[in-house]
Structure 1
């Protein structure tokens, strides 16, 4: 499979999709269609099957909004950090729930302590 980088730029109601490797240009009504339109353009230009073409669509500016790729990278990094923090918090809650069970604290009360339902407290104890 051949993979191409393409750049989508908003112009009016359309997305202009540039394929730099082929000096090509196509358009799409919706950004979600940009990849399909680019693949079809590339396949037609190179006279190959659409199934043989992959694309990576990038949007870096829309009007006055610049640095979209950099901002998206930062958002992805923050989400990964948040997922790691959530895992750590769940592990800590599970550990605390297990220690409370060892002290014969009822699941409903453990749920109250942790700010979760007694069902969730049971899940944490069972981990």
Structure 2
């Protein structure tokens, strides 16, 4: 049987974390984020007169607008970085294939040209070690 889940909306006010439990229309506070879940559970359990272990909580921490904006920028930078990393990896694979297929270099020589190990060349080529060294 699934336990009900109650939302805890948490925001900072001065030196305290304010915990709002909208489903029971009560609020409490905690000194640290580490205390939020326990305080929220106690609040909900008291409001509903149930054991705190009979339900789940989902904690939503409100971030200041400037921090939220900065995190959105960072997420976009992470996305762009992943695209660049993917392009770089594709370029390495293409370089390894070109050295092997068009220039006939051995795996050992390909590794030396690329400045990587033989094992890495096999990874870049996407195949198991073959008999040609």
Q: TM-score range by the shorter chain?
A: 0.5 to 0.7
> 1:7 is matched with which residue?
10
- Which of 42, 64, 76 is residue 44 of structure 2 equivalent to? 42
> 1:121 is matched with which residue?
121
Gaps of 5+ in 2: 128-133
What do you get for the CA RMSD once the two structures are aligned?
Answer: 2.8
**CA pair 16-82 structure 1, distance change in 2 beyond 3 A:** same
Give the structure with the higher percent strand.
Answer: 1
TM-superposed CA distance for 1:109, in Å, is 2.4
> 2:114 is matched with which residue?
111
**CA pair 76-123 structure 1, distance change in 2 beyond 3 A:** same
Q: Distance in 2 between matches of 1:95 and 1:51?
A: 56
SS in 2 for 1:67: helix
SS in 2 for 1:104: coil
Q: Distance in 2 between matches of 1:57 and 1:81?
A: 27
> 1:19 is matched with which residue?
20
Alignment length, in residue pairs? Answer: 116
Query: Is the contact between residue 28 and residue 37 of structure 1 (CA under 8 Å) also seen in structure 2?
Result: no
TM-score using structure 2 length: 0.64
